[in-house]
Structure 1
Amino acid sequence: MDWNSAGLRASNFEGFVTFAELPDSDVPEAPGVYVVLRERADAPAFLSASVAGMFKGRTPSVSVERLEGKWVDDVPVLYIGKATQGSTSRRGLRKRLNEYRRIGNGEPVGHWGGRFIWQLADHADLTVAWKVVDGESPTDVEDSLIRDFVSQYGSLPFANLRYERKGARTENPVVPA
């Protein structure tokens, strides 16, 4: 796959809106996968402190050195995530992306994954795209996308942390088979 907006559109992703535009966007309530993109080709600037809200007493901020070490050059996709229906069948893409947007607004919301994007100086310019996954497990689709990304770039996307082993370098991510 081409990990840019054209490649994602060819793979049936839709949306491509900023986090600020999400509340007014027609985000499906269905389960699916989503990506966060930085369309700019220039080097990123990192904030010393995250704009994201704390969750369960944990600060979302990490060192600029850690962010620099996680950066993947020459690829717009910064994060790959999933949205399941949950046990109550009331979750899905709309709710999950709203949580992601709200933690970026400083609220104490449970979207800890992908938090590194909120230390990018240009986080307000990032775009979000999503894809409904009818008849498939969002977790399986997310895992497949992450495996494809790692196969192509040799590391996880910048803000994906779930598959890192404690103490392991991102050049050797643990991705489910």
Structure 2
Amino acid sequence: MAALWLPGERIVYIGKANLGANGKRHLRKRLDEFRKFGAGVPIGHSGGRRIWQLADQDELLVGWRVTDDADAANTKTRMLADFRAHYGRRPFANMRG
């Protein structure tokens, strides 16, 4: 696991939140699911699960970029590609991408 860590890098996970079919799945809902997963609640999504192994997980900050819902997946893909091009690997908690 230590081989995945980039010393000094501030970005540890790149995720996304979509509005969903009914338009009610937004960033707050996604972050709540993320928090619940970290607390051990089975939510059916495990993106970023390595974050919960960090000693300072309770000090991490969330940043976001607003984009139209149809472009959310493309934005995440581009951000991951840019990160990988710069560092040669994904952020610590991104297991795919």
TM over 0.5: yes
Which structure is higher in helix share?
2
TM-score w.r.t. length of structure 2: 0.89
Give 1:124's match in structure 2, choosing from 58, 62, 82. Answer: 58
CA contact (8 A) 1:79 1:114 kept: yes
Residue in structure 2 matched with residue 79 of structure 1 by the alignment: 13
User: How many angstroms does 1:135 deviate by?
Assistant: 6.6
Stretches of 4+ moved more than 3 A in 1? none
CA distance in structure 1 between the aligned counterparts of 2:45 and 2:29, rounded to whole angstroms: 11
CA contact (8 A) 1:99 1:110 kept: no
CA distance in structure 2 between the aligned counterparts of 1:154 and 1:75, rounded to whole angstroms: 13
Q: Which has the higher contact order (CA 8 A, sep 6+)?
A: 2
TM-score w.r.t. length of structure 1: 0.51
Residue in structure 1 matched with residue 71 of structure 2 by the alignment: 137
Residue in structure 2 matched with residue 55 of structure 1 by the alignment: none
How much is the aligned-residue C-alpha RMSD, in angstroms?
1.5
Which structure is higher in strand share?
1
Bigger radius of gyration: 1
CA contact (8 A) 1:82 1:138 kept: yes
Point out where structure 2 has 5 or more consecutive residues left out of the alignment: none
Deviations 1:15-71 (A, max 9, x none): xxxxxxxxxxxxxxxxxxxxxxxxxxxxxxxxxxxxxxxxxxxxxxxxxxxx21211
The alignment-based identity, stated in percent, is 44
Residue 112 (structure 1) aligned with residue 63 (structure 2): no
User: How many angstroms does 1:92 deviate by?
Assistant: 1.7
